[in-house]
Structure 1
Amino acid sequence: MDPSIDLSVVSVDCPSRTLVHNTVAIKVQLRKDGPAKIEVPLSIERAGRTLVSQFVRFDEGAAEQTVNINYTPEEPGDFVLTAQLPPQAQERTTVNNSSMFKLRVEADPIRVLYIEGILRPEYKFLRECLSRDPDVDLISFVRSASQREISVAGVMTGSELLTPERLEKIHVVLLGDFEANMMDDSSYAALKTWVENGGGLMILGGYQNLSENGLIRTPLADLLPVEIAEGGMQQIDQPFRFDLTYEGRRHPAFAITGDMAQDARLWNSLPELKGVAAVKGIKPAATVLARHPLANPQSADQEGYIVLATQPFGKGVVTVLTADTTWRWSRLLRLAGQSDALYVRFWSQMTRWLSHRDMVTAQTALQISTDKALYQRGSRVALTVTRNPAVMLPGEEGEKAALELTIYTPDNQTIPLTPASDVTNVNRWTAAYFPGRGGRFQVLARLLRSGSDLANQQTEFLVEGSQIELEDPAPNPALMQQIARTTGGLYAEITDDPAVRKLVESLPGEPRITSKAQTTQIWNSPTLFIGFLILVTVEWIVRRRNQLI
């Protein structure tokens, strides 16, 4: 290998944001100095792990080229990636063999289809809530403003709305309260197949859909996690606060702080719901998440009426909510000047769970991020670590876990940091670090309980130190020869006396031009003063003749 060779990553052109599972084109500009022909792999790395790579061929002599490399992210988050060329034997410097860049990978928007029979309060508040969610793309349809305006049963057949082709693009379907014949059997059959293939369906109970003439008369009957009461539906109208079951307290839709007992108390502090559709009981494969405090005399175990239940169907999931007044969690609190954050959180987390987004986030119990990807030496690096409370970690409930944060410097030193807990969020920690040198730094966050590693996550950031020229002050003959050829100049090694003498003798003899500066003061010149008096006199005469004085 020619000792004068040098490979460098000049720049990286990459979109700052992309969607998960979407291919992003990364343009990397590369340069090679030196006479040798070479073929090397260009890789895109994250925390030392190669994500994608391809070989790049350089011809003889100095060369520069732009390489397009495609990368398809598999998980959402904020990532620091590195475009890397491998160091070569006897390469002059390797500090320019890589370049870091930041990429935010966002999850696909959750496409939600909400079909409602009438314009009831539950529809109004839920539609507003989902419309404000930046991760939700909502499509809503309501048949009429009130029950009195329905003159013909089956105003909407639904066959043009719930086609297999359209359902293929939907992640979650919410069915409001309407009679069974509002949609035809082909729509229900398409919806059943869609759930079986992985869709998330939620039934928002009411007087129509959970009655004996409701969904039980459609192809969706097998999907329902509850048994419909015979002889007509009973409505329990008295206000109530539901009781979360053990499965409900562990469900991602009700996760807040990570402490199940504390979360249950928070949900119980919400305004009372008013009314529940009394279904007969639960199906064998279903799970009850919340119950009414009143015992259901039709159930074998005499437990409370079912408020929220779910069951898997094929690759999908079906959930039934028998209460239709969750809007009270928003309206009553807002009227009292309080936040409706728990109402927003319930529907946000339930929507994500129905769309199977929890299966993605469950893989990362911890998330660690920096405020930037590139820093100057001595500047403040702000680190943030967040724990996902929906991820259940091993150990006893309520047992406290400790966060350990470690910096790994470019020269393999280990620096422990003391993270500070966020007083407003028990699942968030912050720390700061001031790097004293340049290079690539790695950060490792570990969540420990009794010395056992529960979860860990890492990231990296780059610190600019000295300039590359100062990192390697040795001359670059190949580059200087290239500059001389390009500009029509000459090059000679300083130690090559004959070459230096020849270079000096070849310099053209240009005439020497000298300049001399001379200062003259004119403010006290008699000629200038007389000229000034003449101008003032002429002005006075002109004004006098024109009667301006």
Structure 2
Amino acid sequence: MPELDLSLALPLFMPLLAAIIAAALSFAAYRSPVPPVSTPWRVILGVLRWSALMLVFLLIGEPLLSVVHRTHQPPGVAVLVDNSRSMTLTDGAGSRADAERRVLASTELRAVAGGASAFWLLFDNRVRDIGTWSADSLTLTGDRTDIAGAFRALRERSSADNVRAVILVTDGNATTPENPVYDAEALAVPVFTVGVGDTAEQRDLAVRSVTTNAVAYAGTRVPVNVIVHSSGYGGERVEVTLDHRGRPADRATISVDAGTREYRVTLFMAPDSAGVHRSTVSVSRLEGEVTHKNNTSVVFTRVLSGKLKILLVAGSPGQDLAFLRHSLEADPNFDVTTRVQMPDGFREGHLTPELFTSSDCVILTGFPTAMTKDADLQMLLREDVQRKPFFVLLGRTVDHERLRRLNPLLPFIVESVLPNELQVFMSVPETRRMHPVVRFRSAGEMDDWSSLPPVFRLQGNFRSKPESDVLGVVRLQTATLNEPLLVVRRIAGRKSAAFLGYGIWRWKMLAPLDGTAAQRADEFLGNAIRWLTSIEDERRIR
């Protein structure tokens, strides 16, 4: 049965006092009415007036009727079981598979899980809910050990299932870039880990990760970045090879140093036709390795027959426009069309709906301005144009009232803007550093954002939309503010990104020449366009 509770925003004595006053007023009004009425009618009219007065008073007192339904849900314990191929290894402690099965069949684990509602989940490169545990549920065939992904999947159901504790059974060898510590902390429940296997580092040589462009173009040279992990060896020379569609494409030789090390190798392939291409990266086998199963890794690339068509629309000539145009035209994968707004129209041709609909990505820099015509804004709001990916970069001359009219395209909301100009740095939150837009491929990526020169931003209040992700926030000197600077959005199959500042040419021209910082502006721009134009369903297959 629901519980009902009526409360007022007034002290208890006030309704009682109001009832007395309302009764006195009603009695005075109908004690000697003119014209005279009978006693029964005076009583009825007096009660009605009293009721009306009390109703008005109660409404002034903001009555609140609460209906409370109480349900009892027992606490839940989630048991995350590692189902990856690394659990098939045999190390100094024996077979990991046998050890894991003994742990899962132990009376201690059954006693802990039996005292609450137990949820059994297998994880490798994905997470599966198996309901109740059985010995044949464990296949140990997963390609990766994604502990962070298991925690994220559990977080989505933790509140509904009242998960109050997590038991993690794994060898702890996470093979994905994400750090599972942050996702474990986000659960806000105790995590008890049962380690399986020998804690000593094993003699092994492995292809730890392979990254390449999700989208490439036929006839272009595509880099493949490889990380090779070694432990327990020293002085050996090993070969890293890249096979593209079953044929040798590239190779490199590295010297393995003593201890536990990681080596970054860049290989290249040149796809010659359109389609989904399969590439295999392998590293030489050494005697005494704990396993040879991790000496090979496979990566898929979607190869297109043509170049990406980029439409670059600028509100006025400027340094950001010059940088964007130079960087885009230097990439052989992009076919760039530019339109620059001038007082008498657009330079290099008219701005037409066909330009937008035939483009793969639209970049607006410093646009719209006070000179922008209403017809041009309406063109951007056409349904077929809104389906295109948009990358918006603000500028000093942007007309924010006109920008608000483009709200359906934007991943942010303009609330207020002041003419004051600030020099700010961009800080990437720890939880967003693995996003493909802000993640750099080469070494030192975690510190590169803080080493870039400052850019400009108008003082004001920009708010990200609920469905957007904030990849970069404002940093003033050493103070990091909770104000968005780089925002991306993906909703209903449409993508957009926005940089809420200007002067990104400074990242290129003012960065130190003796490091990789000067390359970051070009890489960031390429990352943003490739993320905007990538097809999400095919990225999942990759």
On whether the aligned pair clears a TM of 0.5, the verdict is no
Greater helix content? 2
* TM bracket, shorter-chain basis: 0.3 to 0.5
Q: TM-score w.r.t. structure 1 length?
A: 0.40
